[in-house]
Amino acid sequence: MLNVTSMKRLLLAGALLVGAVAGAAAAEQAAPAMAEPVVSEQLLREQKHFLECLAVVYHPAFWISYNGSLYFQPKDDAQARQLEAMKNARAGYVAFTDRKARHELAARALVESGVTEKWQRQLLLPYTEGNPNLTPTIPKAFRVLSQFKVLEPPRGGDALLQDGDNVYFVMDFGHGSSDGSGTNAFLVREGTKVYTTAEGEKKTITAFTSVGLSSEETTILVRVSAAFRKQAEALGRQLAELKQHRSFVESLARANDQNPFLEYQVAIAYFEGKGTEKNEPLGLEWMRKAARNGSGDAKAYLEKGGEANR
- 56-68 pLDDT, tens digit per residue, is 999 999 999 999 9
Confidence of residue 177 (pLDDT cuts 50, 70, 90): low
**Residue-wise pLDDT tens digits, 117-169:** 999 999 999 999 998 899 999 999 999 999 899 887 667 788 889 998 898 99
Q: Do 257 and 37 contact (CB within 8 A), yes or no?
A: no
pLDDT at residue 200, as a whole number: 81
Q: How large is the average pLDDT for residues 39-57?
A: 93
Lowest model confidence (mean pLDDT) among 28-32, 169-173, 190-194, 285-289: 28-32
Question: Is residue 111 scored above 90 in pLDDT?
Answer: yes
pLDDT given at position 227: 97
**Taking every pair of C-alpha atoms in the chain, what is the biggest distance, in angstroms?**
106
| Burial of residue 187 (number of CB atoms within 10 Å: 0-12, 13-18, 19+) | buried
Which pLDDT value is given to residue 19? Answer: 36
Contact between 96 and 46 under an 8 Å Cβ cutoff? The reply is yes
CA 254 to CA 262: how far, in whole Å?
7
Please check whether residue 142 is in contact with residue 73, taking contact to mean a CB–CB distance below 8 angstroms. Answer: yes
How many C-beta atoms lie closer than 10 Å to residue 214's C-beta?
13
Q: Which residues pair with 63 in a beta bridge?
A: 72
What are residue 149's phi and psi, to 5 degrees? Answer: -125, 135
How far apart are alpha carbons 202 and 153 in whole angstroms?
Answer: 19
pLDDT tens digits, one per residue of 215-268 = 999 999 999 999 999 999 999 999 999 889 988 999 899 988 888 999 999 999
Judged on CB neighbours under 10 Å (0-12, 13-18, 19+), 116 is exposed
Whether 308 has a pLDDT exceeding 60, the answer reads no
User: What single DSSP character describes residue 158?
Assistant: B
How many beta carbons lie within 10 A of that of residue 160, not counting itself?
A: 20
Confidence of residue 92 (pLDDT cuts 50, 70, 90): very high
